[in-house]
Structure 1
Amino acid sequence: MKWIYNDYEFDNRINNLAWTISGDYSEDIEVSEKDYSSKEVSLYFGIIAGARRKYVDWNIVKKYLIHRISKGYEKDIILDLVQIVFNNLVESKVIEDRPGIEEIRVKAYRDIINRFTKIYNDNILQKIKYVFILEGMGKHPSVDGLSRRLINEIKNINLNNEIIEILKDLDSIYMKYFNAIANDLDKNERSDSKEYKEIDIDFDTFSDFMYEELYNDEDEAFMENEIDLISSSMLVESIGESKLSDSRNRSNRVIYIDEETASKIYEKIEYYYGKSYLSKSEIKKVETKNCRNVHEGCRVHFTEGVLRSECKNVFQLKYVTRHKENNLKKYREKIKTYKRNINKLTENISRILIEESINDRVYSDCGTIDANRAWRVGRSSNNKIFYKDIENEKGRYVIDILLDSSGSQSRNQYRVAIQAYIIASALTMAKIPNRVTGFSSFLDYTILKRFRDYKDPVSVNENIFEYFCTGNNRDGLAIKCICDGLIEREEENKVLIVLSDGKPNDVKIGAEKERSIRGESTYKGKIAIKDTANEVRLARQKGILVLGVFTGKENELIAEKMIYGKDFIYTKNIERFSDIVSMYLKKIIRN
């Protein structure tokens, strides 16, 4: 995939096209689902991204694959078969609904194939993929009898059936063909000693995979990744090998653009995210201080969003409004429960603060005389009739809540918004200054969207429902910028709570003519984890108490531990976020 970001207006058109096809404006179109190598390819990527969401329930497909592979199905074969069948389903249905798309497909396929240096055609499934692509371009390739029979079987699947019935037909194809021809598939990657046993599956209990829990987290994580690959790319991408420059750009997650395009990005960032509440000189000061080393060349945008800032982007205004309305709708469905949670959390925090602020009275041989104890003089061995009041020295508290707003959190979007609203409302009512900020990345910009500031009244907390998830996340830079403001607060006890999936991941942009980039060319894996961990450590050295709340997969906990050490909490249920924060606050206040 070629990562060339040519035109913001065109990108908006692609997003709008995908949303129109899918019929769901709450779904974000990921960068990995876009291609800007030509106009036709870009349009078709957007169309298929929307169609995948409309026509396929990928969660059912994932459960089917996990179940079948656990029963002995050959992983590579069944994954390829699923990709072929569901690509055929998605394309057939979207073209049936909108016939004009077929012409766009022909041009897109042609452009993609033209940039391949090699076509994979080593086994029967790769051959079948290629045939489907060529036929989609209006060509009629000749193939051997076995391949043609298999292609006809796939085409004979009734695509108007429910997903379960389509999977049953797919299953029949696997059972009918691939025990017999497995030895012809990908021989170089298979052990000569491996035997392909007959697999007995009871079709009367076909949908049992929907209810069984036979797989572990590693199986699910692996299959989640495979489904992401199948559901975020087109079949044509898997049949060939691109030019070296394209593959290099993709692996390094670098977007190379010309200077004119870069200038457009910097000029129009406020058009898409709302006007910054900081002046240009203030932003420059922040960037000079923080955009160093791994963040060299990055930029920061502080905003209150398009709904509360100056913004002329009508489409974006409607888009964010739709997200806010959806979040609020979910909140109102259980509003009585959530209000009880707010009141309970407020009461708990207030009680702890009152208990800890009460002066302790210590009796001694000197100090202020206690008249009620004067009788003890000469009559009791306990002659401590004086007292001293020890004032509470713990000081006041200020809290920052930093919410990962990247696309990977989209499955939790309304839940995160509700829980953040509960916490912020309770803290505000308990008179603890607090700020709530969402962070995400777009190209080399880290967007910091402020939902409420420290001194805002409780009514402002409704802005938190503007929370929506899109783009990437550069955690280290976001934490560094937030801590700049937090450390300046006068309160003695400063707390930063970060909610994320523990996977910092971002792209960079560079000049097309130079093909070079300042700082690190990639922000993921060890580089990103090390940088984020370093920022957490520096914050703690400055006296900020940092808590990480992890919402990712259990097999990724090691990254969270590396970043936050012992001060992190893992929760599979994001709706416990407010409870977790409550317990943490009790702990730090009392200790």
Structure 2
Amino acid sequence: MKWIYNNYEFENRINNLSWTISGKYNEDISASEQDYTSKDVALYFAIMTGARHKYIEWNIVKKYLYNRIKQGYDSNILLGLVQVVLNIIVEDRVIQERPGIKDIRKKAYKDMLDGFTKIYKDDVIQKIKYVIVLENMGKHPSVDGLSRRILNCIRKIDINLPIIEILKEIDNIYIKFFEGKVIKSQDIKENSIEYKNDTDIDFDTFSDFMYEELYEDEQNEMIESEISNISSSMLIESVGEIDIDISKNAKERVLYVDEKTLDKIYNKMEHYYGKSYLNKNELKKIETKNCRNVHEGCRIHFTDGVLRSECSNVAQIKYVTRQKENNIGKFRDKAKIHKRNIIKLKDSLSRILIEESETSRVYSDCGTIHANRAWRATKSSNNKIFYKDIENEKGKYVIDILLDGSGSQSRNQANVATQAYIIANALTMVGIPNRVMGFSSFMDYTILKRFKDYEDKIEEIENIFEYFCAGNNRDGLAIKSTCDGLLNRNEENKILIVLSDGKPNDIKIGKDRERSIRGEMSYRGMIGIKDTANEVRRARQQNILVLGVFTGKENDLEAQRLIYGRDFVYTKDIERFSDIVSMYLKKIIRN
């Protein structure tokens, strides 16, 4: 498990906690990667992970589920019941052994519920989960009669029973309350086991499923996946949703185009955004590496823009030229203030770098003799007449600034360009290599515009004023592709600063309504948030320091916190961007 704050000592602590709870030190019980914003949630997840390994025989559960689903049980209902019952049993057992866990559970539940904007109560299983969570927090929620009766039956299960007996109790609950959810025998596959009737199960032979062979078919793979989900997640995770805009019934944002139009998009990308500064083989290699999973079928276009690379689109050149002139004009309106801010930031960074690069002298009882202290050898009890000079070992720095260039930033174009210009100037003056990129998406392309490269001279920094906004934003793919360039640098300290004013949000392209290039889901809501958060976590695991600066709406704050964790700043004033970056860099260098 990886905690959201990327704190190695804390990660080590929670992994050790899982092993301690389970007592199975030879098993890899920390392989599931979860991202949580609270220490209490992370601690409780670690406790439950270890407890599930200790108390539940998952192979028996798997065989039971395989047998019953093959028999015709409704998989959603049965899997939900199994999750609820096993979660209660595991919690009760671990709290009996370690009563202090109850307080951690209450705090963890509260932290997760606070992040939900929607509670799913669409079916009885979801309502039961919600009620259990609230009751464990000391609350007394009202609930309909059916849900209460099912809950009472679940509560009556003896947690000390063997797993076979517990599964038998689950079977009883299913038959009592969901007997209509068993598929008729004629609808079941020919190789299924048939019983006397849909609900008449002979409990004298209940454990016969234990002797069944499990073959590698699609159903078995599905159950393997569901078992993994149940054994590596908390009950509360399925109770609510953080993004109210994305619901189970929400329509996907899909743009369908014909084959001819699609080919035209592929062939004309350089016409719209300028020729790529990478050749086709380099682009293919990057796309093969990065365009996977939720980005399957996407493409990446690296460009210096229409003004500094080959482009035949006269209209686009005129538009970007006009936007650049507008950005420069806004900068010149307050040129004295901005230039003063550049010098202020440069001086501040220079002072810190000089302080941190100074050699520290430490006196000791060995090393190089200090002539002025030699007399102490016989005259004083302080015999530290030698010294050692400690050199700064922090290493050098390299910084990437990644600017959200989607249409939602259009109201801030001039201000964003100005703030990036101030930061890049100051960094260049103090000798810190830096690169400024903008990202947006158009159709199935993620466009990464390079305004300034690491080794560009001061006079070339003005290219940042070519920044303009259009399209959507596929943040995860942009961050992943930008980090590739950082990782190729030799500097020891790599920093990525991402400026954004909204959540990841991109369409998908479909050639027709039967199939689409990008798989089944649009890149928005929790899909985009989780993917971007994973890329931020992956970057930090590769020793890249990532800072998120958010300038959007307050109701999108929770999504940004999930993505960036502790290293995240919210400001309503884009003109404070350079100040925020200055404070962050000073903190990084000093620490």
- TM-score (normalizing by structure 2): 0.57
* Inter-partner Cα distance in structure 2 for 1:480 and 1:513: 30
* 1:6-25 correspondence runs (5 A): none
Q: What's the counterpart of residue 166 of structure 1?
A: none
* Inter-partner Cα distance in structure 2 for 1:456 and 1:520: 42
Q: What's the counterpart of residue 313 of structure 2?
A: 313
Amino acid across the alignment from 1:261: T
Q: What's the counterpart of residue 437 of structure 2?
A: 437
Is the CA contact 2:508–2:518 (under 8 Å) kept in the aligned structure 1? no
Amino acid across the alignment from 1:355: E
* Inter-partner Cα distance in structure 1 for 2:319 and 2:392: 49
Deviation at 1:259, TM superposition (A): 1.4
Higher mean C-alpha deviation, range 407-416 or range 250-259: 250-259
* Inter-partner Cα distance in structure 2 for 1:516 and 1:524: 16
Q: What's the counterpart of residue 88 of structure 1?
A: none
Deviation at 1:512, TM superposition (A): 2.4
* Inter-partner Cα distance in structure 2 for 1:283 and 1:253: 27
Q: What's the counterpart of residue 158 of structure 2?
A: none
Change (3 A) 1:576 1:519: same
Q: What's the counterpart of residue 261 of structure 2?
A: 261
* Inter-partner Cα distance in structure 1 for 2:517 and 2:318: 36
* Inter-partner Cα distance in structure 2 for 1:559 and 1:250: 18
Deviation at 1:377, TM superposition (A): 2.2
Q: What's the counterpart of residue 414 of structure 2?
A: 414
* Inter-partner Cα distance in structure 2 for 1:563 and 1:514: 33
Q: What's the counterpart of residue 454 of structure 1?
A: 454
Q: What's the counterpart of residue 302 of structure 2?
A: 302
Q: What's the counterpart of residue 484 of structure 2?
A: 484
> Tell me, what secondary structure is at the counterpart of 1:339?
helix
Change (3 A) 1:259 1:555: same
Q: What's the counterpart of residue 578 of structure 1?
A: 578
Deviation at 1:513, TM superposition (A): 7.0
* Inter-partner Cα distance in structure 2 for 1:415 and 1:376: 63
Is the CA contact 1:258–1:513 (under 8 Å) kept in the aligned structure 2? no
* Inter-partner Cα distance in structure 2 for 1:530 and 1:349: 34
CA deviation string 1:384-417 (max 9, x = no partner): 1100011111000000000000000111110000
Percent identity of equivalent pairs = 75
> Tell me, what secondary structure is at the counterpart of 2:495?
strand
Q: What's the counterpart of residue 39 of structure 1?
A: none
Do residues 382 (structure 1) and 382 (structure 2) align? yes
Is the CA contact 2:480–2:535 (under 8 Å) kept in the aligned structure 1? yes
Is the CA contact 1:507–1:523 (under 8 Å) kept in the aligned structure 2? yes
* Inter-partner Cα distance in structure 2 for 1:429 and 1:545: 22
User: Which structure 2 residue ranges, 5 or more long, are not aligned?
Assistant: 1-243
* Inter-partner Cα distance in structure 1 for 2:309 and 2:251: 36
Change (3 A) 1:321 1:250: farther
Deviation at 1:549, TM superposition (A): 0.1
> Tell me, what secondary structure is at the counterpart of 1:419?
helix
The number of equivalent residue pairs is 346
Deviation at 1:380, TM superposition (A): 1.6
* Inter-partner Cα distance in structure 1 for 2:435 and 2:249: 38
Do residues 284 (structure 1) and 284 (structure 2) align? yes
CA deviation string 1:146-188 (max 9, x = no partner): xxxxxxxxxxxxxxxxxxxxxxxxxxxxxxxxxxxxxxxxxxx
* Inter-partner Cα distance in structure 2 for 1:468 and 1:346: 26
* Inter-partner Cα distance in structure 2 for 1:492 and 1:380: 43
Deviation at 1:359, TM superposition (A): 1.2
Q: What's the counterpart of residue 240 of structure 1?
A: none
> Tell me, what secondary structure is at the counterpart of 2:255?
strand
Is the CA contact 1:304–1:450 (under 8 Å) kept in the aligned structure 2? yes
* 1:338-357 correspondence runs (5 A): 338-357=338-357
Is the CA contact 2:509–2:518 (under 8 Å) kept in the aligned structure 1? no
Deviation at 1:539, TM superposition (A): 0.3
CA deviation string 1:427-472 (max 9, x = no partner): 0001000000000000100000000111111111100000011100
Is the CA contact 1:341–1:422 (under 8 Å) kept in the aligned structure 2? yes
* Inter-partner Cα distance in structure 1 for 2:520 and 2:410: 27
Amino acid across the alignment from 2:556: E
Deviating 4+ runs (over 4 angstroms): none
User: Which structure 1 residue ranges, 5 or more long, are not aligned?
Assistant: 1-221, 226-247
> Tell me, what secondary structure is at the counterpart of 1:382?
coil
* Inter-partner Cα distance in structure 2 for 1:458 and 1:322: 22
Amino acid across the alignment from 1:272: Y
